Amino acid sequence: IEKYKKWVIAYTKELRLPMTFYTTIINAVFAVLIGAGFMLAGGNYDNKFLLNLLFYIIITPIITVTLSKIMYSSENEMIVEDAIKRIESILERKPLPEAKEEKKISKASIKFDNVTFRYEDAGKNALNNVRLEIKEGEHVAFVGPSGGGKTTLASLIARFFDTTEGAITIGGVNVKDIPTKQLMSMVSFVFQDSKLLKISILDNVKMGKKDATREEVMEALKNAQCEDIIEKFPNGVDTVIGSKGTYVSGGEAQRLSIARAMLKDAPILILDEATAFADPDNETKVQQAFSQLSKGKTVIMIAHRLSSVVDADKTFVLKDGEIVEVGTHKELVEKDGLYAHMWNEYNKSVKWKVGA
C-alpha cells in the first residue's frame, strides 16, 4: 500500500504541469479568439461582426468540452479492453480432464502422495512434496502462518485444481479418476466467507440437496442452530435473502451454509476458517452446529484461531508449502516448535485489552 501510494503521488506530480497547461490553454481559447477577432476586424465593428464573434465565443467552450470527452473516452476504451481480456482469459481456460465412469469408493480416507502444486504463472510452488494420510472418520486440522498452503491443500482434495506432481486419493482412488459429480457428492465445503444467493432461505439450503423435502430442510436448519434466524423474519424459511433490505449477518450466513452442508451429508467435510466472521454469540452457535455436522465424518479444519482445533485427532502444521510438524495439540505444544510458538502468541492475543 505504501509503495502504491508513493507511485500514485509521483505519477500525479509528473502529470501536474502538462495537465495544467492543457486545461489552461483549452479553456482560454475564447479569450484568444476575442483578441484575434478585434485585431482582424480593423476597427470595423458592425452588427455582423459582433454577432459572428458572439457565436464563436459561445461555441468554442463546447468544442473544448468535446475534446476533453474524446480524451477521457480513450481512457474508458483501455478499461473496457482490460475487462474484455479478463473475461476472455476465463472463457479460454481449459477444463480439467473429466472421468467418465463412477468409481466404487468404500472409505472416506484421504492420502497425499508426494504432492507438489504450483499456481499458473506463479514464481514458486505453493506446495512441496506433501505426504500425509487422513483416516476415515478422523478430525484433523491444518494450521500455520498465512500463505503456508493450508487452503491450497484442502482445495486440491475437491479438485479445484490438479496437482503439478504426485497424487491425491480418496478411499484409494485418485481424485482425477473420480467424475466431478461423484466427487462433489463426497466433499462438503464451509468457507470463511459464505455466500448466499438472492433466493429464499429454503432454496439456499436446498442447494446442498436439490430433491430434499421441506421437512428435511427444516431439520437441517434446526441442527445448524438457525431457528432464531428463521423466527426473526415474517416469512420464515420462505424469506428471500437480499430483497427489500432483508439481510443476514456474517455469522448467520455461516450457520445457513452449515445447514446446507448438513443437508448434503457428504462423508468428507472441509471447514476453511469457518468461524472467522462470527461474533462471540454466533461463534458459540456455529461451534454447536459443527459438533452436529461433524458426527461420523472425515473432517478437515483450517484455522488461525487455534482454540477451535485443540481437540483435533491430529494437527498438520504448514509453512512455505511444507508440513513441518504433525501431532496432537498436547504433543505439538511439548515439541516447543512452530505450533508451540503460535499457541503462545494466540494466548497472548486473547488477553489483549483496549483501555483500562
- Concatenate the DSSP letters of all residues of 96-111 into one string: PP---S--------EE
Cα 305 to Cα 135, 143, 230, distances in angstroms: 24, 9, 29
- CB atoms closer than 10 angstroms to residue 34: 13
Alpha carbon distance 71, 15 (integer Å)? 15
The residue to which cell 481449459 is assigned: 94
Query: Would you say the C-alpha torsion 217, 219, 224, 228 has a positive or negative sign?
Result: positive
Mean pLDDT, residues 41-60 taken together: 78
Mean pLDDT, residues 242-270 taken together: 83
pTM for the full model?
0.70
Question: What pLDDT was estimated at residue 193?
Answer: 73
Residues 6+ apart with CB under 8 A from 148: 318, 319, 320, 321
Mean pLDDT, residues 170-180 taken together: 93
Q: At what angle do helices 214-223 and 250-264 cross, to 10 degrees?
A: 130
Percent of the chain scoring above 70 in pLDDT: 94
Please, which pLDDT band fits residue 331 given cuts at 50, 70 and 90?
A: very high
Question: What pLDDT was estimated at residue 245?
Answer: 66
- Looking from the CA of 142 toward its CB, the CA atoms found within 13 Å total 28
Question: What pLDDT was estimated at residue 276?
Answer: 59
Q: Are 346 and 306 in contact (CB under 8 A)?
A: yes
Residue 255 amino acid letter:
R
Mean pLDDT, residues 282-309 taken together: 78
Percent of the chain scoring above 90 in pLDDT: 36
3-state secondary structure of 89: helix
3-state secondary structure of 75: helix
Per-residue pLDDT reduced to its tens digit, 217-227 = 998 888 888 88
Please, which pLDDT band fits residue 45 given cuts at 50, 70 and 90?
A: confident
For 160-187, what is the HEC assignment?
Answer: CCCCCEEEEEECCEEHHHCCHHHHHHHE
With a cut of 70, say whether residue 274 has pLDDT above it: no
Alpha carbon distance 158, 176 (integer Å)? 10
Tell me the average pLDDT of the chain.
85
Question: What pLDDT was estimated at residue 38?
Answer: 76
Residues 6+ apart with CB under 8 A from 141: 300, 301, 302, 303, 309, 312, 314, 315, 316
With a cut of 70, say whether residue 294 has pLDDT above it: yes
Lowest mean pLDDT among 237-246, 285-294, 347-356: 347-356
Cα 79 to Cα 5, 82, 125, distances in angstroms: 21, 5, 32
Q: Which part of the chain has CATH 3.40.50.300? A: 110-350
Q: Are 239 and 268 in contact (CB under 8 A)?
A: no
Mean pLDDT, residues 203-217 taken together: 91
With a cut of 70, say whether residue 216 has pLDDT above it: yes
Please, which pLDDT band fits residue 348 given cuts at 50, 70 and 90?
A: confident
Question: What pLDDT was estimated at residue 118?
Answer: 92
Question: What pLDDT was estimated at residue 194?
Answer: 76
**188, β-bridge pairs:** 269
Please state which CATH class domain 110-350 belongs to.
alpha beta
